[in-house]
Amino acid sequence: MLTINYFIWFTQDCLREVKFVMPASKTNVECAANKKGIFVSSTGTEQGKTILASGIAAWWKSVTGAAPAVWKPVQSGVQWGASNADSYRLKWGGGLEDKQEQDIVSLAFSAPLSPLAAAARENVSINCAALRREGITRLSQGLPLVVEGAGGVAVPFANTYTMCSLASDLELPMLIVAQPLLGTISHTVTAVHYAREQGIPDIAVVMGGLAPEQLEREHECEENAQIIAEQAQVPVLGRLPWIPQPVMHDPHAWSSWRAQWVEAMSRVSLLCDWLMGRMNEVNKERCADSSSLTSDC
Ligand SMILES: Nc1ncnc2c1ncn2[C@@H]1O[C@H](COP(=O)(O)OP(=O)(O)OP(=O)(O)O)[C@@H](O)[C@H]1O
Ligand SMILES: C[C@H](N)[C@@H](CCCCCC(=O)O)NC(=O)O
Ligand SMILES: [Mg+2]
């Protein structure tokens, strides 16, 4: 317990910096050999990243027998332990009951803002070099890593360091959750182009779930998916199931959510195949040049 607490304190202390202090200078970081994982992002906030990231963890555990590692670098706008906190939903949705929320989320800020702005409200700035090092460390632990960003692809941790900067530095494939209905095409095509420009070559899109009252618009979602695939030249892997997560502290309700999610997600076969390829592969070539992992924000 002492070790765990020390680790949490150490991690959080390193990632926070007093405002106006420059981020840590260039340091050589060991490349994470055998790294594998994905970065779950989206076209904006509230698009279903936590649902998907936790659902991927539950699915992976059901398929392989072992949970993956799950990491949300920074969360904002919630309190530890609250049932709407991503740290709580990733823990229980992912079937990571043996983890503490602080093992999953490195930094938490109370303002419901981008990590950059939420940190500034608390007079700190986020040390991106430390964030990157922590990503490398987590990728080196031998488990596939599922990372959830905060908000959409271009949301900043720091002035010149966004969700895509971290995904690119960690050389992770990116899975973008897109809103399924009217308004999604421009946002999604733009997000894919931005992610490519930021140095992420392996990108896929998945359409967010349709709530029961939206199901009659299934065809519209399919058309949007086809148009996005054409316009952005990106694989669109299907549509997520709609399965609301429990809002109470009830392990049985969470276990039931995981079972329903896994059963439904297994039928989204393109998504499962894409994930299997990225979470299983041992990609040593990605480690050829570790210098890109160490540039400053
Ligand atoms: N597939 C789905 N099934 C059921 N509920 C969903 C689904 N997708 C989204 N929701 C609901 O929509 C809301 C937003 O989803 P979620 O919290 O996963 O978004 P997010 O992209 O992780 O947001 P943030 O940027 O805050 O991390 C939640 O209340 C969630 O329960
Ligand atoms: C407060 C939100 N829920 C979210 C941060 C969203 C930032 C969105 C910024 C923007 O696009 O304007 N926090 C989080 O994912 O922990
Ligand atoms: Mg989330």
ipTM above 0.95, yes or no: yes
pLDDT at 35: 73
Return the structure tokens found at 109: 């800020």
Of 114, 148, 164, best ligand 2 pocket probe by most atoms within 8 Å of the beta carbon: 114
pLDDT at 85: 98
Q: What stretches in the chain show pLDDT beneath 50?
A: 1-11, 13-14, 17-31, 282-297
76 CA to centre of ligand 2 in angstroms = 7
Of 19, 72, 91, 99, which one is the catalytic site residue?
72
253 CA to centre of ligand 3 in angstroms = 20
Please check if 168 is assigned to a binding site: no
pLDDT at 26: 31
Q: Which domains does the chain have, with CATH numbers?
A: 35-280 (3.40.50.300)
Q: Distance (Å, rounded) from C-alpha 65 to C-alpha 80? A: 28
Q: Establish whether 36 is a catalytic residue.
A: no
110 CA to centre of ligand 3 in angstroms = 14
Q: Are 128 and 156 in contact (CB under 8 A)?
A: no
Q: Are 59 and 262 in contact (CB under 8 A)?
A: yes
Q: Distance (Å, rounded) from C-alpha 196 to C-alpha 198? A: 5
Residue-level length of the chain: 297
pLDDT at 7: 32
Q: Which long-range contacts (CB under 8 A, 24 or more apart) does 262-265 make?
A: 262/55, 262/58, 262/59, 262/62, 265/55, 265/56, 265/59, 265/240, 265/241
Please check if 50 is assigned to a binding site: yes
49 CA to centre of ligand 1 in angstroms = 6
Q: Which atom of ligand 2 is nearest to the CA of 50?
A: 15
- Model pLDDT for residues 99-127, shown as the tens digit of each residue: 999 999 999 999 999 999 999 999 999 99
Please check if 150 is assigned to a binding site: yes
End-to-end alpha carbon distance in the chain: 33
Please check if 76 is assigned to a binding site: yes
Alpha carbon nearest to ligand 2 atom 9, residue: 114
What phi-psi label fits residue 182: left (phi over 0), alpha (psi between -120 and 50 degrees) or beta?
beta
